Structure 1
Amino acid sequence: MPSEVVDPASVGFDPQRLAQVKTHFAKYVDDGRLPGFQVLVSRKGQVAYRESYGKRDIENDLPIEDDTVFRIYSMTKPITSVAAMMLYEEGAFELTDAVSDYIPAYADLKVLTGGSSLKPVTRPAATKMRISHLLNHTSGLTYGFHHVHTQDELYRQAGFEWGVPPGSTAEKIADAYAQLPLRFDPGTKWNYSVSTDVLGRLVEVVSGQTLAEFFQQRIFGPLGMKDSSFAVRGDLGDRLAALYIPNPADGTAVRNDAFGDAVRGEVTFFSGGGGLISTTEDYHRFTQMLLRGGELDGVRLLGNRTIRYMATNSLPGDQDLAQVGIPLDAETIYDGMGFGLGFSVLKDPVAYGTLSSKGEFGWGGAASTAFWVDPAEELTVVFMTQLLPSSYHPIRTQLKQLVYSALID
């Protein structure tokens, strides 16, 4: 059952202002830019607003409902990061440990210095890749779908753009990434990347379980996230929303089953960077655990000091993404934004240019999903839809200005 919704005024919201969230995003649905959306806003541990609008499947006229299942893609990353930090708290590794101590393929890394994708020029990496570099995307790895650098092209040539070759495993994929050159020496810059997929493999090595087993036994089961999974099981397939992409001609949402149905097949690669499907209610429970410092309903996954540490900017020299990040369409604005261990971390709301709070942390997914946790306001927000890519509409910043402007206490 979904969480009970309280009177928004009881937790500091103006109900009429908060209702503008639906009014605004309904326009995206009504003119065809989004198939539909679901949003949940919680404050002080109480759900102040839950709204569903539009379709999970336009062609079959199926509405978005409370139990609709969404591909959350990179919103998998914070869950993988929590898994890693649970093992860290058990003394399984140190954040300064070399990745090669656990995945030997990372012992002799190369950095790309020039040349072309056919004849790349490299040099030995000047620094070791450490576990902390995987958590905060300063590893030097990349994504093939970036299309901004020769390194990205090398990933595509190896079969890594929006996915991995059929039949891949986390072990094979992590080892394959190690054979490709880095963009920079680990720990020196930030580049959104497959780092969390490698981190997921590290969780497997250290725990002796597959990532799917670890998630289910250590996170999903204890938190009651009953509809979160790497694969379609039970009735999840019946509740799974269709995936859409924008029509280049007019921006309207066009169904893309070729990509969307990948999650319905056999899953052999448990992608810590983007493999999960989930529901708004499940992810809400995850955000509540984060807001409460690692505990929910008597179940503690992490210590509160660990959560605070993860939500602290860890970029070189305490800089923001605009200063040390590789320019690309990531899941956030760079100005004023730092990055911790698994989340973006807001350093300067003024530089960021959108209403929010210093210390707010969160992330988003490729299909335009998003979440954030704001400890200062005791606020969490989860937004679900299924439009790829996430950079096509300014959904996340618009959602923030609507939510924060509805706070009046």
Structure 2
Amino acid sequence: AGLSEVTSQESGDIATLKELMPLIVAKPVKFAPGSKWEYCQTSINTAARVVEVVSGESFPDFLDKHLFQPLGMENTTFYPTEKQATRLATAYKRTSAGELEKTGLMFLGNKPITSRDRYPRANGGLFSTAADYEKFARMILRGGELDGKRYLSEKAVKQMTTVQSGDLKTGFTPGNGWGLGWCVIREPQGVAATLSPGTFGHGGAFGTQAWIDPVKKRIHLLLIQRADLPNSDGSDIRKAFHEASAK
């Protein structure tokens, strides 16, 4: 959409998505919508605010009421409880010497993990588990339905998981395009060579990766808690994971 990013420093004291919006609209548009592709955190947060305005509910409450609780995702939240916080995997980053050291979660700032005094980052603020995410992924794989209950229309799921970026050059791996919030594999290659064309998913800032293969009817979930992990880094791990999970 060409929206400019809002930095963590600029949004440090923001507690709601509503408060975030003036910071976004004050920024210049970087390019005309549809003329270029760029990964944008601001776009997802804007979409989350649209959900709030249309539904009349906060984004966390909307997700909890319409997705998480009905799906049985009891450990998925923007704001972990004290008990949930004790189960959080430790995050690490690589030092200049090539060693791993503990690191914090950058989007928390200096606030405790249980603090609700921060806006719900739709671009990457949820905490979850493999078991919870598998339920969500299985629902998407089944076209928006799970265990006899429909959560999304088949048309909506199809629209989200179909390439919307046209012939524009996109990230982050050659052979990929982008739908609405999902990366879509057009030409499987590299660490994703064992996946089918049309597989869709998304990675995370700490190395997580989810792929949903609609041809083979498989879900691949890789959870890592390491900061500064670009796609090329850890490729041996990702390749071994995909090869093992494809068997």
Normalising to structure 2: TM-score of the pair? Answer: 0.88
> What corresponds to 1:336 in structure 2?
175
**1:17-28 alignment, distance < 5 Å:** none
**Counterparts of 2:220 and 2:127 in 1: how far apart (Å)?**
18
**Counterparts of 1:361 and 1:400 in 2: how far apart (Å)?**
17
**Counterparts of 1:282 and 1:206 in 2: how far apart (Å)?**
26
**Counterparts of 1:234 and 1:366 in 2: how far apart (Å)?**
23
**Counterparts of 2:26 and 2:12 in 1: how far apart (Å)?**
16
Q: Is the 8 A contact 2:90 2:102 kept in 1?
A: yes
Q: CA deviation at 1:286?
A: 0.7
Q: Is the 8 A contact 1:336 1:352 kept in 2?
A: no
Which of 177, 194, 206 is the aligned partner of 2:54?
Answer: 206
Residue 362 (structure 1) aligned with residue 201 (structure 2): yes
Distance 1:349 1:404, change over 3 A: same
> What corresponds to 1:305 in structure 2?
155
Which of 390, 397, 400 is the aligned partner of 2:229?
Answer: 390
> SS state of the match for residue 324, structure 1?
coil
> What corresponds to 1:136 in structure 2?
none
Residue 174 (structure 1) aligned with residue 18 (structure 2): no
Distance 1:378 1:258, change over 3 A: closer
Q: CA deviation at 1:277?
A: 0.5
**Counterparts of 2:229 and 2:190 in 1: how far apart (Å)?**
22
Q: CA deviation at 1:400?
A: 4.7
Q: CA deviation at 1:266?
A: 2.7
Distance 1:343 1:258, change over 3 A: closer
> SS state of the match for residue 235, structure 1?
helix
**Which amino acid counterpart does residue 219 of structure 2 have in structure 1?**
T
> What corresponds to 1:281 in structure 2?
131
> SS state of the match for residue 86, structure 2?
helix
**Counterparts of 2:191 and 2:175 in 1: how far apart (Å)?**
5
> What corresponds to 1:223 in structure 2?
71
User: Number of residues paired by the alignment?
Assistant: 243
Q: CA deviation at 1:170?
A: 0.4
**Counterparts of 1:400 and 1:292 in 2: how far apart (Å)?**
26
Q: CA deviation at 1:394?
A: 3.3
Distance 1:282 1:267, change over 3 A: farther
Q: Is the 8 A contact 2:4 2:28 kept in 1?
A: no
Q: CA deviation at 1:376?
A: 0.6
**1:367-378 alignment, distance < 5 Å:** 367-378=206-217
**Which amino acid counterpart does residue 3 of structure 2 have in structure 1?**
L
The CA deviation string for residues 234-277 of structure 1, in whole angstroms up to 9 with x for no partner, is 51011112222111221x22112374674332343111111110
**Counterparts of 1:222 and 1:392 in 2: how far apart (Å)?**
33
Q: Is the 8 A contact 1:369 1:390 kept in 2?
A: no
> What corresponds to 2:97 in structure 1?
249
Structure 1: runs of 5+ lacking an equivalent: 1-138, 144-154
Q: CA deviation at 1:178?
A: 1.1
> What corresponds to 1:114 in structure 2?
none
Identity %: 29
**Counterparts of 2:196 and 2:236 in 1: how far apart (Å)?**
13
> What corresponds to 1:233 in structure 2?
81
Distance 1:395 1:360, change over 3 A: farther
**Counterparts of 1:307 and 1:405 in 2: how far apart (Å)?**
28
Q: Is the 8 A contact 1:369 1:384 kept in 2?
A: yes
**Counterparts of 1:373 and 1:397 in 2: how far apart (Å)?**
20
The CA deviation string for residues 2-34 of structure 1, in whole angstroms up to 9 with x for no partner, is xxxxxxxxxxxxxxxxxxxxxxxxxxxxxxxxx
**Counterparts of 1:228 and 1:240 in 2: how far apart (Å)?**
12
Normalising to structure 1: TM-score of the pair? Answer: 0.55
> What corresponds to 1:349 in structure 2?
188
Structure 2: runs of 5+ lacking an equivalent: none
**Counterparts of 1:397 and 1:354 in 2: how far apart (Å)?**
13
Q: Is the 8 A contact 1:228 1:276 kept in 2?
A: yes
> What corresponds to 1:192 in structure 2?
39
Distance 1:378 1:400, change over 3 A: farther
**Which amino acid counterpart does residue 273 of structure 1 have in structure 2?**
N
Q: CA deviation at 1:142?
A: 4.1
Worse overlay, 206-215 or 188-197: 188-197
Q: Is the 8 A contact 1:230 1:267 kept in 2?
A: no
The CA deviation string for residues 357-402 of structure 1, in whole angstroms up to 9 with x for no partner, is 1100000110111101000110101111211123176346753564
Q: CA RMSD in A?
A: 2.4
Q: Is the 8 A contact 2:77 2:127 kept in 1?
A: yes
**Which amino acid counterpart does residue 369 of structure 1 have in structure 2?**
T
**Counterparts of 1:280 and 1:407 in 2: how far apart (Å)?**
18
Q: Is the 8 A contact 2:191 2:242 kept in 1?
A: no
- Of structures 1 and 2, the one scoring higher in RCO (CA 8 A, sep 6+) is 1
Residue 324 (structure 1) aligned with residue 169 (structure 2): yes
> SS state of the match for residue 349, structure 1?
coil
Worse overlay, 357-366 or 266-275: 266-275
Which structure is higher in helix share? 1
**Which amino acid counterpart does residue 324 of structure 1 have in structure 2?**
K
